[in-house]
Amino acid sequence: MNEKDWLFKHLSICALCGRCKQDCPTYNTEHNEARGPRGRLLLLYEAASGNTPADQSLIDRVYSCLLCGACGEVCPSGVDIMGALLRGRSMLKGHDRSFRLLRPLVTAATKSPLLSYRFLTVFKELIGPVLIKKGLLHPGLELDFTPLHKEGTVFQPSRGKKIGRVVFFTGCAVRYLYPYLGKSLITVLNTLGYEVVIQKKEYCCGAPLLGLGLLKKTEELAYKNYELFKKLKADALITLCPTCTMVGNGLYKRLFGISLELINFDDFIVENHQVAGGLSVKAFYHQPCHLRFRPEGASNSLGLLKEMGVEITGSSQSCCGHAGTYSIRFKEQSKRMLNDRVNEFNASKADVLLTSCPGCIYQLSKAVQHDRVLHTVEVVEEAIGEDQS
């Protein structure tokens, strides 16, 4: 079934009740019907029916979705809203002028991420200002010249008996931009008694491609990852990136009929270990959209942090405005959401801003000093270190 037929069939069950708007960050920020789920679905239905031309105005509204998942669990008619928007983007991509140059660049980067990373690190001084101006590179980002998998591929428990074996799905952000987060995860799991395995040939989950409407390219990566990881014998396939989990589990299943069965680090620790700690820190917690809006319910990251002695002085349950290519295409709207989160953080009088997503770290550190923006894995590492001393 092609995209038009799928959209016409599935969107015809939408009752236009509007319940999908209640937690939509873009609708609540802009108060514009066409920037909310119901408006986007109606536009897609009309476009698929041939009643509305696929002009740039319609395309921009379809692409203005953050793909956060807030609308997905509340539809009483059971419309697959995110699936519709992804297929709609695929249908419209040939008419989209805004990202016509970005699509081949992202396709090349996801196909050869290490080569792209090396190119960026070598020529950062030359092309960095251009990428920063276009919103493609964080101006304060310090690129590490050693991707995570270059540190090794198998890491043994640091002491005592091995209690299990886990495979670490690093994701592109941790592997190339924040390898120190991966090292923290390895330290934590080794200390708890796990052997940790990293795959050299791990592929991008495809989230950037999905956002650009490149379903076929995403499907290629999905099956490569599926074939790679299904062969490995391990107790769990763990990641630090909720977006990788959302894509590798939920969207792979809905779009391609397969699943990587990824587990978020926070969930793995909460479900399998009690981490005691006497940490003395005041923190504001930003809950990533892809840990909040999911079929199994929101993660208990806050409970984990409190268990370790972290004093939570405030928390945010709305989007930071990153959402991958959204922050490139809709800079002002993205900045407005970021400023809202930063204002909440400043009002909380917290020492640090905690989150559980490298994408959120990338966005939040645009406005908050980088060493004050931490991933939960760093807090767990510190708590375990204190417990072992």
CATH of segment(s) 3-95: 1.10.1060.10
**What interhelical angle do 113-122 and 124-133 show, nearest 10?**
100
Model pLDDT, residue 145: 58
- Whose tokens are 């016409």? That residue is 8
CA 280, distance to chain mean position in Å, is: 29
Element (H, E) at 316: strand 311-316
Single out the residue of 227, 229, 169 nearest to residue 196, CA to CA. Answer: 169
The predicted structure's pLDDT at residue 8: 82
Kindly list the strands in the beta sheet with 282-286, ordered across the sheet, starting from the edge strand earlier in the chain: 311-316, 282-286, 352-355, 373-375
Q: What is the pLDDT of residue 167?
A: 97
169 neighbors 237 (Cβ within 8 angstroms): yes
pLDDT, tens digit (0-9, with 9 covering 90-100), for 157-212: 988 889 999 999 999 999 988 999 999 999 999 999 999 999 988 999 999 999 99
CATH architecture of the region 148-270 = 3-Layer(aba) Sandwich (3.40)
Token couple for 51:
């009643």
CB-based contact 299:356 (threshold 8 Å):
yes
Structure tokens at 200: 């050299």
Q: What pLDDT is stored for residue 160 in this prediction?
A: 80
The structural architecture, per CATH, of the domain 274-388 is 3-Layer(aba) Sandwich (3.40)
For 236, the enclosing helix (H) or strand (E) is strand 236-239
Residue-wise pLDDT for 289-330, tens only, equals 999 998 877 888 999 999 999 999 999 979 999 999 899 899
The one-character DSSP state at 157 is -
Listed as ranges, residues in the chain with pLDDT below 50 are none
Q: Where are the chain's structural domains? A: 3-95, 148-270, 274-388
Asked whether 381 and 184 are in contact (CB, 8 A), the reply is yes
DSSP letters spanning 326-379: HHHHSHHHHHHHHHHHHHHHHHHT-SEEEES-HHHHHHHTTTS-GGGEEEHHHH
**Alpha helix stretches (DSSP H) within 12-101:** 25-30, 37-49, 56-63, 81-92
Q: Report the C-alpha gap between 137 and 133 in whole angstroms.
A: 8
Q: Do domains 3-95 and 274-388 have the same CATH topology?
A: no
- Confidence at residue 124, expressed as pLDDT on a 0 to 100 scale: 65
Q: What is the pLDDT of residue 101?
A: 84
Containing H/E element for 124? helix 124-133
The pTM score is 0.92
